[in-house]
């Protein structure tokens, strides 16, 4: 008989370790819990760490560290509160795990999709992969959707690194990421269409969107998402 271990977060006791993200410089963002739902609202930071030649740009909506050592700054613990995943001693082997979300919202996606990102340190670098093969829908009415973290490379996109962050981020196999998912899982909006409002003197992707130039907000996702429950079933 196969036994399963199931993590459930319904936000009845606060964010449970889940947080948003302000920026590289400012770090984590505390999210509001409203009537048992974890709320994220635009405008969202443009994550430029994986700009081409990496996989592209994304917004980070909900982040959960999967190990205690993944916390790098004190404000991350303050923003997310007690991490029920880490404190519960759940596995970091996400191979074949089923992730179920109950959520609702009103959002203009502008061509992006809500997808899961898995991040793990593999060797010397952090490898980030997004599950583009199983996007998650956001509707005004509450819905429940399940994705399966199958190590099929056809379903995943490895995000790699922008030109100047290769000492931190890199490329790797999804099987290695899922086998020991030791940093975090993040629900992201990807891909983003990042277009400067003004003509740039340098290559767009060598600059930092939102810091060294203003990206056209009309082309970026906007709205809000309310997360009611996250359930992860480990085989």
> pLDDT tens per residue, the chain (235 residues)?
445 699 999 999 999 999 999 988 888 999 999 999 999 999 999 999 999 999 999 999 999 999 999 988 778 888 999 999 999 999 999 999 999 999 999 999 999 999 999 999 999 999 999 999 999 999 999 999 999 999 999 999 999 999 999 999 999 999 999 999 999 999 999 999 999 999 998 899 999 999 999 999 999 999 999 999 999 999 9
Bridging pattern class, strands 184-190 and 113-122: antiparallel
| 3-class SS letters over the chain | CCCCEEEEECCCCCCCCCEEEEECCCEEECCEEECCEEEEECCCCEECCCCCCCCCCEEEEEEEECCHHHCCCHHHHHHHCCCHHHHCCCCCCCCCCEEEEEEEEEEECCCCEEEEEEEEEECCEEEEEECCCCCECCCCCCEEEEEECCCCHHHCEECCCCCCCCCCEECCCHHHHHHCCCCEEEEEEECCCCCECCCCCCCHHHCCECCCECECHHHCCEEEEEEEEEEEEEC
**Residue 55 within a domain:** yes
Burial class (CB in 10 A: 0-12, 13-18, 19+), 18: buried
Tokens linked to 22: 């302000």
Per the structure, how many domains does the chain have? 1
Answer yes or no: is 207 within a domain. Answer: yes
Counted residue by residue, the chain has a size of 235
**Structural domain includes residue 229:** yes
Collect all residues with Cβ–Cβ distance below 8 Å to 80 and sequence separation of at least 6.
Answer: 15, 16, 17, 18, 19, 28, 30, 64, 65
The dihedral formed by the CA atoms of 72, 156, 103 and 24, expressed in degrees to the nearest 10: 30
**CATH number of the CATH domain containing 169:** 2.60.120.260
Residue 174 lies in a domain: yes
Q: Is the dihedral of CA 86, 183, 132, 18 positive or negative?
A: positive
8 Å CB contact between 139 and 109: no
Q: pTM of this prediction?
A: 0.96
Query: Would you say residue 1 lies in a domain?
Result: no
Tell me if 171 is assigned to some domain. yes
Please report whether residue 2 resides in a domain: no
38 assigned to some structural domain: yes
Range of the domain at 139: 7-234
């Amino acid at each position: 008989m196969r036994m399963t271990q199931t993590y459930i977060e319904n936000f009845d006791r606060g964010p449970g370790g889940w947080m948003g993200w302000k920026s590289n410089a400012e770090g984590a963002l505390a999210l509001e819990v409203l009537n048992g739902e974890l709320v994220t609202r635009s405008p969202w930071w443009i994550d430029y760490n994986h700009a081409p030649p990496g996989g592209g740009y994304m917004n980070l909506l909900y982040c959960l560290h999967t190990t205690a050592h993944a916390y790098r700054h004190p404000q991350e613990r303050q923003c997310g509160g007690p991490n029920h995943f880490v404190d519960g001693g759940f596995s970091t082997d996400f191979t074949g795990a089923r992730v179920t979300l109950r959520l609702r919202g009103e959002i203009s996606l502008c061509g992006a999709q809500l997808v899961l990102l898995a991040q793990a340190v593999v060797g010397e670098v952090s490898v980030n992969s997004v599950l583009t093969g199983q996007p998650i829908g956001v509707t005004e009415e509450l819905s429940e959707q399940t994705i399966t973290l199958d190590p099929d490379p056809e379903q995943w996109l490895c995000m790699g690194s922008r030109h100047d962050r290769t000492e931190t981020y890199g490329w790797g196999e999804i099987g290695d990421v899922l086998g020991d998912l030791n940093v975090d899982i993040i629900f992201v909006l990807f891909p983003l269409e990042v277009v400067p409002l003004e003509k740039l003197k340098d290559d767009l992707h060598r600059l930092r969107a939102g810091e060294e130039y203003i990206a056209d907000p009309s082309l970026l996702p906007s709205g809000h998402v309310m997360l009611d429950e996250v359930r992860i079933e480990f085989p």
